[in-house]
Structure 1
Amino acid sequence: MKICMVLEFFIPHYNGGGEHRYHEIAKRLVQQGHTVDLLTMKILNIPEYEDVDGINVHHIGPTIKKAPYRSATDFIQYFFAVTRWLLKHDYDVIDAQAYSPLLSSRIAARIKKTPLIGTIHDTSSNSNDQWIQSSKIANTMEKFLVNLNFDKILTVSHATKNSLINDFAVNSDKILMLYNGVDIAKYDAVHIDGVLKNNIIFVGRLAPHKHVDHLINSVNIIQEKIPDIKLTIVGKGEEKDKLIQMVNKLELEKNIKFKQDLTDEELITEIKKSELLVLPSTREGFGMVLAEANCCYKPVITYASGGTVEVVENGYNGFLIEPENIEDLTQKILETLENKELNQKLGQNGRKKVEKDFDWEKIVNQYINVLCNVIL
């Protein structure tokens, strides 16, 4: 098959969950003999064509100076660039990621009569939690985009699927659910000297809905009982400066450090060196980092939000906390750090769950079946 994937950014220039999903799927498709073209925005000082693990990555449209920051003009330019590209090239199937690539892909796919899959990782829950932060038109745009006439919609969790049906009136017959996965072999190949006692980690975009400030508040409380507690915050985003100021104000510089732009090996090392991972996010289509931590035999603590409830079984491989309940979040972090037997048990159970439900090798074979059914 000749497949085109359309998204705004791609690794290594932006390392979001959706970008990693496409990378893991696309490189395995190439290994099985398929051809994959991937369209993404231009990045300053990056060639317009890259070969990433055999994937043909084409940077088109506007030039972005610093991903993921882009303007309304950038969206418009990318819309026309994607449309022109798809009209000039032939594919067996197109897979477009929410949100901005959806409309241009739909228009071109209809003209060319090419099967189209829309991949939607998560949905917005309210006016303060939109994919276009603080935009009044975001909810209207989202309702329009998710209801375009796709041949199939792929989601990464039952929570997103249910939201599309109940909140956005999407036809349930068009929706298929395919989990995100973990490259188990890659994680197992990274070895460390030992685990750092009382070290916890957050990995993700530093956006308001991730609520890293809640985690910082928890650490501030816990350090009164565990003075040597350490938190590593891995990521970047619009909240970073504010979070650094918060750490300085609370005088937690010795307890909390920030890192970003890590290689895969460096990130895996940071996770393995920690005792647990915490994700206090109120909006997650899946929560890939939870499965990645479990793959490393690490327990996880997260707000019960969206797809996190499908990755974490409360009390089995980690803990689910009522969203924005900082008191319970703090208590579970403390309990998991102090009870080493519990910590080990949760981590071992997490690894079992990853091997059962979140192995990329199994997921990609399911994805190929989806493509074949759409094409036929």
Structure 2
Amino acid sequence: MDDIENAKEFEHKRIDILSVSNLYKTKGIDLNILAVKKLIEEGYDVYYYVIGDGPERERLQRMAIDNDLERNIIFLGRLGNKEVLKYMKTAKIFCLPSYEEGFGIAYIEAMASGKPAIAIKGQGIEDVIKDGYNGLLVNPDVDEIYAALKKLIDDESLRTNLGQNAKNTVYKGFTWQSSVRKLIEIYESMLITE
């Protein structure tokens, strides 16, 4: 019986993780690769999809191969909006540990799809992602990214709650309608009334 219980402890449902970005060093894709490696070594059934292209692609693909991860890390290159949205819908977690990010529209797109996002503390997206409410914020560190991914993989309820809060955040503050409403409020506050 103990062997069956131990087997169930490591029985995990497949989890797809997604990043969408230009492939530059500061996007932290290499950190994700190493975090995914740790998850796989622990028996997690994870697949990491990387959408985008750039000067780091060859090095990152080589890194995946060197770590025997070519089956679990899939580089998709640049895709059109419809294809990106398809992957956004099927992914369970969006993780882009970019450590030089002004804002990052990809986070907003993932959040609008109801996905919890993992981002880096102290970057522009911190104005949108509130740690533990609609996503998770970490330092650009493999162990912290791994811990955040593991937390979301292990706790489906947390993943669902963060994803729902993420979606609500975007629909309340980052749609065309909300932007127009904010702009009208700014103009109205500037009007001089007599």
TM-score after normalising by structure 1: 0.44
- 1:54 equivalent in structure 2: none
1:361 lines up with 2:177 in the alignment: yes
Where relative contact order (Cα < 8 A, 6+ residues apart) is larger, the structure is: 2
- 2:20 equivalent in structure 1: 203
Inter-partner Cα distance in structure 2 for 1:257 and 1:197: 15
Q: Equivalent residue of 1:223, what SS?
A: helix
Inter-partner Cα distance in structure 1 for 2:36 and 2:50: 12
Inter-partner Cα distance in structure 2 for 1:350 and 1:305: 18
- 2:144 equivalent in structure 1: 328
Question: Match of 1:306, as an amino acid?
Answer: Q
- 1:286 equivalent in structure 2: 103
Encode CA deviations 1:129-182: one digit per residue, 9 max, x unaligned. xxxxxxxxxxxxxxxxxxxxxxxxxxxxxxxxxxxxxxxxxxxxxxxxxxxxxx
Shift of 1:365: 5.9
Shift of 1:290: 1.2
1:52-131 matches, within 5 Å, as none
Shift of 1:285: 1.0
Shift of 1:352: 0.9
Which of 245, 250, 257 is the matching residue for 2:67? 250
Q: Equivalent residue of 2:83, what SS?
A: helix
- 2:128 equivalent in structure 1: 311
Aligned sequence identity (%): 30
- 2:192 equivalent in structure 1: none
1:298 lines up with 2:115 in the alignment: yes
Q: Equivalent residue of 2:61, what SS?
A: helix
Which of 327, 330, 342 is the matching residue for 2:158? 342
Shift of 1:294: 1.0
Q: 1:299 touches 1:350 (CA, 8 Å); kept in 2?
A: yes
Inter-partner Cα distance in structure 2 for 1:339 and 1:364: 37
- 1:13 equivalent in structure 2: none
Q: Which has the larger radius of gyration?
A: 1
Shift of 1:320: 0.5
TM-score after normalising by structure 2: 0.84
Which of 233, 238, 241 is the matching residue for 2:58? 241
Q: Equivalent residue of 2:69, what SS?
A: coil
Encode CA deviations 1:48-89: one digit per residue, 9 max, x unaligned. xxxxxxxxxxxxxxxxxxxxxxxxxxxxxxxxxxxxxxxxxx
Shift of 1:361: 2.8
Inter-partner Cα distance in structure 2 for 1:226 and 1:201: 19
Question: Match of 1:331, as an amino acid?
Answer: A
Shift of 1:289: 1.2
Shift of 1:262: 1.4
- 2:90 equivalent in structure 1: 273
Q: 1:284 touches 1:305 (CA, 8 Å); kept in 2?
A: no
Q: 1:203 touches 1:289 (CA, 8 Å); kept in 2?
A: yes
Structure whose residues are more often helix by fraction = 2
Inter-partner Cα distance in structure 2 for 1:302 and 1:220: 19
Q: Equivalent residue of 2:41, what SS?
A: coil
Q: 2:172 touches 2:178 (CA, 8 Å); kept in 1?
A: no
Inter-partner Cα distance in structure 2 for 1:354 and 1:212: 24
- For structure 1, the residue ranges without an aligned partner over 5 or more in a row are 1-195, 372-376
Runs of 4+ in 1 over 2 A off after TM superposition: 364-371
Q: CA, structure 1 residues 239+368, in 2 after alignment: closer, same or farther (shift >3 Å)?
A: farther
Q: Equivalent residue of 2:162, what SS?
A: helix
Inter-partner Cα distance in structure 2 for 1:204 and 1:367: 29
Inter-partner Cα distance in structure 1 for 2:55 and 2:131: 31
- 1:262 equivalent in structure 2: 79
Question: Match of 2:126, as an amino acid?
Answer: V
Shift of 1:366: 5.0
Q: 1:301 touches 1:320 (CA, 8 Å); kept in 2?
A: yes
Structure whose residues are more often strand by fraction = 1
Inter-partner Cα distance in structure 1 for 2:133 and 2:186: 31
Inter-partner Cα distance in structure 1 for 2:14 and 2:62: 26
Question: Match of 1:249, as an amino acid?
Answer: D
Which of 138, 142, 167 is the matching residue for 1:351? 167
| Aligned positions, number | 175
Encode CA deviations 1:3-38: one digit per residue, 9 max, x unaligned. xxxxxxxxxxxxxxxxxxxxxxxxxxxxxxxxxxxx
